[in-house]
Amino acid sequence: MNVDFKSPIALAVAVAISTGALVAAPSVVAAAGKTPGKYVAGDFHNHTTCSDGSISMEKLIKKATDKVDTPWGLDWFVQAGHGGNGFRNCTLVEDATLDSPAYPFVTGKGPTTSWEQSGVTIKGDLSNDASGARNMWRWQSIQEFQYPLVEYFNHYRNLPLFTGIESVVPGHEHSSMSVITSQIPAALDTTPLPTGPGYTPVGSGTRSPSGNIALTAPIRTRVVAPPTIGTARSPGARTRPIPSGMPPRRSSFSLRARATARPATTRPSSR
């Protein structure tokens, strides 16, 4: 996978995700005779007002990763909201405590403000919410709004943050996935942060470095209670069956980073 990541933790997370290094406990690793690695905990199932959540992207990132004001202090974060569409602008913050140079607090406008009320041009086929507000398809909100914000805060807060999506899949209620190619480029280290509103991303949440639509190493996660091990798959990877009667899914889990990895599979896709 021809991607440079801007921090060792970000690289560790990416390697663990793309190679399916999801484990339940250190004893499992020792039993398998594998070299111990660094465990990093993160969140891969969460929602903002861009789908059916109740808070902004900024507040969600802070709640998950902040090590002072919140109890979680996670090492990494993937914003993986539902697919489909939504009418609310999750890039607007609730109050001035979440203010940042590129995404400042706007008085009278918060994360429940509609895209139309935000002055955004909505693309694609017409679709309205039950309230009559115009919906934005998820591909537009990720490409033009959510990914740029995640990349900005990756640099602004120096955290391994990714953009993903949650979908309904056969045999399981939900599946979170992320295309990690082109996210968190090394060029971020030398890119000046904006001092005013607005941010132009260096990488992309939807395209490969060559400019083609990328579906590299999608993350499909099933987390189950010990002693059964859940699996995170890359395309073509073999997985163990998931037993029936699976317990409720958990919103966060630990990933074990490995120093070496199988090459990720890259294939074109159609939108």
Note whether 222 and 43 are within 8 A (CB): no
Beta strands 220-222; 76-79: pairing state: unpaired
Predicted pLDDT of residue 177:
87
- What contacts 24+ positions apart, CB below 8 Å, involve 258-261? 258/15, 258/16, 258/19, 258/21, 258/34, 258/35, 258/37, 259/15, 259/35, 259/37, 261/15, 261/18, 261/19
Predicted pLDDT of residue 149:
97
Predicted pLDDT of residue 91:
97
218: Cβ–Cβ under 8 A, 6 or more apart, which residues?
A: 177, 178, 179, 234, 235
State yes or no: pLDDT of 251 exceeds 50. no
Nearest by Cα to 57 from 94, 85, 87 = 94
Predicted pLDDT of residue 79:
94
Over range 118-127, report the average pLDDT: 90
Mean pLDDT, the chain, rounded, equals 73
Q: Rounded CA gap, 40 and 226, in Å?
A: 18
Residue ranges covered by each domain of the chain: 44-219
Beta strands 85-86; 161-163: pairing state: unpaired
Q: Rounded CA gap, 159 and 77, in Å?
A: 8
Compare 13 and 238 and report the one with higher pLDDT.
13
State yes or no: pLDDT of 2 exceeds 50. no
Predicted pLDDT of residue 97:
95
Give per-residue burial for 171-192: e unless 16+ CB within 10 Å, then b. Answer: eeeebbbbbbbbbbbeebeeee
State yes or no: pLDDT of 65 exceeds 60. yes
Predicted pLDDT of residue 118:
94
State yes or no: pLDDT of 130 exceeds 70. yes
The separation between the first and the last C-alpha atoms of the chain, rounded to the nearest angstrom, is 22
39-43, 55-59, 123-127, 225-229: least confidently modelled range:
225-229
Compare 246 and 83 and report the one with higher pLDDT.
83
Note whether 22 and 253 are within 8 A (CB): yes
Over range 188-203, report the average pLDDT: 93
Predicted pLDDT of residue 6:
60
pLDDT tens digits for range 145-184: 999 999 999 999 999 999 999 988 887 778 888 888 778 8
Compare 9 and 266 and report the one with higher pLDDT.
9
Predicted pLDDT of residue 229:
35
Under DSSP, the state recorded for 125 is: S
State yes or no: pLDDT of 263 exceeds 50. no
Predicted pLDDT of residue 10:
61
- Highest-confidence segment of 103-117, 173-187, 192-206: 103-117
Distance from CA of residue 150 to its chain's centroid?
A: 8
State yes or no: pLDDT of 210 exceeds 50. no
Both tokens of residue 211?
């400019």
